[in-house]
Amino acid sequence: MTTPSETRVNLSQIMSTTEANLLGNIHGGVLMKAVDSTAGVVANRYAGGPAVTAALDEMTFLTPVRVGDILHTSAQLNWAGRSSMEVGVRVEVDRWDAITERTHVASAYLVFVALDEQGRTKPVPGLDLETAEERRRFREAQIRREHRLSRRAAIEASREVGAVGTAGAPGTAGGGA
């Protein structure tokens, strides 16, 4: 069995002018792509084949990244279910013009789902939790999963209610005049 620390992937890249916005800072979308790519490497390796991004939790950008800065993304598996996995990613920068401590730019949690050759969901191996930190991350990932699934179920239920309304039931928002 694999431990979360064995799944860890670190990637670094220099930010270029083609990735800048009108203010000269790096686009949020560029940072999100780096997050998704790094997390994807973790998920594909762990699943032993392709895994697709199913969800990306809310992501806050704490400080601007500038052209020339060295962007570091580090990712590791927090949780594994039947076919889905949660990957945590931390984004940091080294400034191009000073030797200072790394600056924390953002953190994100992503859900990936492993697929087989036919595009069907595929089971992933169980995760071996060794340290107290790994067990804490696993527990917290479980809480986030419950929130994601219950939010999705609540939205689906509300759409069903809304669909009845738009069908024209009297006394509903979608009902006749």
By CB under 6 A, name the binding residues for ligand ACO. Answer: 40, 52-55, 81-84, 111, 113, 121, 145, 148-149, 152
7: its two tokens:
């799944």
Least distance from ligand ACO to the Cβ atom of residue 152, Å = 6
Toward ligand ACO, which CB reaches closer, 15 or 114?
114
3-class DSSP string for 108-127 = EEEEEEEECCCCCECCCCCE
Least distance from ligand ACO to the Cβ atom of residue 154, Å = 13
Toward ligand ACO, which CB reaches closer, 82 or 102?
82
Residue nearest to ligand ACO (CB): 81
In the structure, how many helices (H) and strands (E) does the chain have? 2, 5
Amino acid letter for position 129: L
Toward ligand ACO, which CB reaches closer, 11 or 149?
149
44-56: b (≥16 Cβ within 10 Å) or e? eebbeebbeeeee
Least distance from ligand ACO to the Cβ atom of residue 40, Å = 5
Least distance from ligand ACO to the Cβ atom of residue 69, Å = 25
Toward ligand ACO, which CB reaches closer, 149 or 164?
149
Least distance from ligand ACO to the Cβ atom of residue 47, Å = 11
CA dist 82 and 55 (Å) reads 16
CA dist 80 and 159 (Å) reads 30
Element containing residue 36 per DSSP (H, E)? helix 28-47
Toward ligand ACO, which CB reaches closer, 78 or 83?
83
